[in-house]
Chains A and B, each alone.
Chain A
Amino acid sequence: MESIAYIVYICFTLPFLLGIPVVRKESRVILLFIIIGMSCCLFISELDGLINEWLGLSLYYFTTNITPMTEELIKMIPVVLFAAFISREREELLTIAFVTGLGFALMENSTILVKTILVDGHVNYIWALIRTLGAGLLHSLCTTMVGMGISLIKIHRKLVICGTFALYSMAVVYHSIYNTLIQSDYRYAGAIMPTLTYIPIVIALIRIRKSSSAS
């Protein structure tokens, strides 16, 4: 049987890919980075499998300590490259970072959804909400965190390498806390954690945009 992940990947990326020549330039970049995010997810799921096989760690330890490092690293690369070669403008970086995480989350959620249906068929609205507002939002937030930070340090070249690694560390720890909570008895705390972080970030962004347009 062909891998479900690859089938899901084709089902989702192909329409996005076909849309690229049709849509406007700004939307084209967004579609492209959604595809990149999805490709990152597919790549890292394969790589994580190999790393875990090689290290021989328990699945719990691996998902709480190693997976956050590999996933955040792979998601960060397109954002860093975009900042290095294309643009360091805050708005653009935030968009790119968010949609890369979104693509990653879309791919992960879709694969898990199909696998869950095939294994026990037990999915409902609560499951969907927890997956979307939990893991779905988490991936976008962690990448946005890195994007926001890169836009913050854009002026000072001396800050770039250390600052980027520091931001990566921050995103990894945040991701790890979520993974630990979601697999424990406190899973609801884990599920609301990304939403609780998302709300203040959105409020802050709205305030920044308002004050920027006012000045």
Chain B
Amino acid sequence: MFSVDIIGNGLLCLCALAGFIYALIRVFRIRRSIYLKMVGCAMGCLFLARLSSIVEIIVEGDLPDLFQVSILGFIGYSLFIFSANYGTFDSLVDDKSQMLTKYRRKAYFAPLLFILGAVIIVFSPAHPSLRIPCAIEVLFLGATSYYDYKHTIIPNRYMGILKSFKPFHILSFIMSACLMVENILWCYNVTFLPAWAVVYIPMYVISLLLMPVLVGGMNKWRA
């Protein structure tokens, strides 16, 4: 009954739940910034996606190699983070000046990496109904990673906001990268356990830390 799949996904689900509960307690309050609320919603999406996978494994015994709704959950997670960065945070740190052009260009490295990941997935032996949605998910993660990477490398010009939020962006970028590798492993049906451990362990840690690090960054910036 308790296969590696259940333990691995179950722990991910619990860590995402912990992150979401933290978000519910600390973030979903009146007068909290929209940025925090969006990231809180992203944690909710991540938790639901993990829960969907674990329920499917418990009920069916395994995740079928076909399209799974949990993929939509991960797309939702990336869209919330993307919306938060693109819609609220980016305008605070990037004034569209010429001075920052080189950083904007450098930031394209991140989505290119994810496009490569999507291509690898598209050529995997998995069923098209699995590999195509997985590749689309990776492209969404790529869009998210653009802002995460950009906000990590861009110089700190506006009242220390970037410095305060840098740990969050680094964690978010690693999370996106881990999700991409997880999709690659899934589509290539990799059964080599250490490969999964390398992806899962950072995801456990990041699911737990993402919200506290963000709230800490916000408090530090306001102080």
- A residues sitting closer than 8 Å to B (CB atoms) are 61, 64-65, 68-69, 149, 152-153, 155-156, 158-159, 162-163, 165-170, 172-174, 176-177, 180-181, 184-186, 204, 208, 211-212
Contacts and interface: CB of A to CB of B under 8 A. Distances in A.
A61 B88 contact: no
Given A69-B69, A158-B87, A169 B55 contact: no
B133 to A, nearest CB: 10
B83 interface: yes
A64 B38 CA distance: 27
Size bin of chain B's contact surface? 35 or more
Contact of B28 (A65, A176, A204): A204
A166 B83 contact: yes
B34 interface: yes
B51 A177 contact: yes
Max chain B Cβ within 10 angstroms of own Cβ: one of A168, A176, A208: A176
Interchain residue pairs A-B with the least CB separation, the first 5: A169-B76, A166-B79, A158-B87, A176-B69, A159-B87
A165 B88 contact: no
Interface of B: 28, 30, 34, 37-38, 41-42, 44-45, 48-49, 51-52, 55-56, 58-59, 64, 66-70, 72-73, 75-77, 79-80, 82-84, 86-88
Contacts, number: 104
Given A65-B68, A173-B72, A204-B28, A165 B45 contact: no
A177 B45 CA distance: 12
A152 B87 CA distance: 13
Nearest to B76: A169
Given A149-B41, A159-B84, A162-B83, 14 more contacts: A153-B38, A159-B83, A159-B87, A163-B79, A163-B87, A165-B76, A167-B41, A167-B76, A170-B76, A173-B70, A180-B52, A186-B59, A208-B30, A212-B30
Contacts of B68: 65
The SS class assigned to the A binding surface is helix
A212 B30 CA distance: 9
Contact of A173 (B52, B82, B83): B52
A59 to B, nearest CB: 14
A153 B88 CA distance: 11
Nearest to B50: A173
B81 to A, nearest CB: 9
A180 B55 contact: yes
B55 A159 contact: no
A68 B69 contact: yes
B55 A177 contact: yes
Max chain B Cβ within 10 angstroms of own Cβ: one of A65, A169, A177: A169
B65 to A, nearest CB: 12
A61 B67 CA distance: 10
Contacts of B79: 162-163, 165-166, 169
A61 B56 contact: no
